[in-house]
A = this chain, B = another copy of it.
Amino acid sequence: MPSHGQYTSPAVEHALAVLETLASAQELGVTELARKLGMGKSSVHRLLATLAGQGYVEKNPQTERYRLTYKLFVVGSTATERYGLKDLAGPVMDRLSAETGETANLGVLEEDRVVNIHKVEGPHLLRLHLDLGRGVPAHATALGKVLLAGLDPNDLDRWLRATRLTRLTPRTLTQRAPLRRALREAATRGYALDDEECSLGLRCVAAPVRDRRGAVVAGVSVSGPSQRLPSAALHRMAARVRAAGLEISRRLGYSGPSDP
């Protein structure tokens, strides 16, 4: 077997592995990095030199070890502007946050996680701090549920087979059957809830955002501390969140029905 006919580039995969490893650790030396990746020191060294030449990593002059620069963040952030989603959603989210007094979030599904790409914080002093960018397991959040409910059945089946439903709090749905039920419910009601399934003390309502074809491309949510959001308030808010999701969808060119 001559084994030519390459469909992927090992060098590139290695470079990406270097970036990801560097992202998960704060700072690493060449030897340390090589050990983690199972490669030779000199190979890693050359990859680092390449990445440094392009401005993606740098050597900390103090410790003589390598770390990521902010360039990856800069380049990655532009991916966030797909469809102009952020710009279109921004004003709607401002209003949603003002009306509800809570934090409004915009998120998308990336593999098994929900990635927050925009948030508007409410005026309350007590606020739960959720970082943009850092993903959260989809099955444990309201946003994740509306996004999963928007997948077509085959993709959802594959998703459910492929991902472990890790437990984040005592209330996290870690079994497939209850999660499936929750997703069906989300689909029929047009919104999903998260009752401290992701973080204790945090409740959340989310609604889907659809593009002109009707496909769910993102979700909007409102989240806040349980004390301020008893069950009744949560369901009342759902209408507002759904309206916000619909408005963003309309701006994206969605022309389908307003009811699920």
Asked if residues B70 and A110 are in contact (CB atoms below 8 Å), the reply is yes
A80 with B70, Cβ < 8 A, contacts A90-B129, A132-B132 known: yes
Asked if residues A78 and B129 are in contact (CB atoms below 8 Å), the reply is no
Contact with B along A27-62 (1 / 0, CB 8 A): 000000000000000000011011101111000001
Most buried by B among A12, A68, A77, A129: A12
Asked if residues B12 and A69 are in contact (CB atoms below 8 Å), the reply is no
Residues from chain B with a CB closer than 8 A to the CB of A110 are 69-71, 74
Residues from chain B with a CB closer than 8 A to the CB of A13 are 50, 53-54
The CA of A23 and the CA of B74, in the complex, are separated in Å by 10
Residues from chain B with a CB closer than 8 A to the CB of A20 are 75
Residues from chain B with a CB closer than 8 A to the CB of A78 are 23-24, 68, 133-134
The CA of A62 and the CA of B70, in the complex, are separated in Å by 32
Residues from chain B with a CB closer than 8 A to the CB of A74 are 76, 110, 113, 115, 133-135
Q: Does A67 contact B (CB under 8 A)?
A: yes
A53 with B121, Cβ < 8 A, contacts A67-B82, A68-B79 known: no
Residues from chain B with a CB closer than 8 A to the CB of A19 are 75
Residues from chain B with a CB closer than 8 A to the CB of A115 are 70, 73-74
Q: How far is the CB of A137 from chain B (nearest CB, A)?
A: 13
- Total count of chain A residues near the partner, CB < 8 A: 62
The CA of A135 and the CA of B123, in the complex, are separated in Å by 27
Q: Which of A100-134 contact B (CB under 8 A)?
A: 108, 110-111, 113, 115, 117, 120-121, 123, 125, 127, 129, 131-134
Residues from chain B with a CB closer than 8 A to the CB of A69 are 79, 110
29 contacts between A and B (CB under 8 A): A6-B46, A9-B46, A9-B50, A11-B12, A12-B12, A13-B53, A13-B54, A16-B54, A19-B75, A23-B75, A23-B76, A26-B82, A70-B76, A70-B117, A71-B111, A73-B73, A73-B76, A73-B79, A73-B80, A74-B110, A74-B115, A74-B134, A75-B76, A76-B133, A77-B132, A77-B134, A80-B133, A94-B127, A132-B132
A72-B75, A73-B133, A74-B135 given; 12 more Cβ-contact pairs under 8 Å: A8-B46, A8-B53, A15-B16, A16-B51, A70-B80, A71-B111, A74-B115, A76-B133, A77-B131, A78-B134, A120-B121, A132-B132
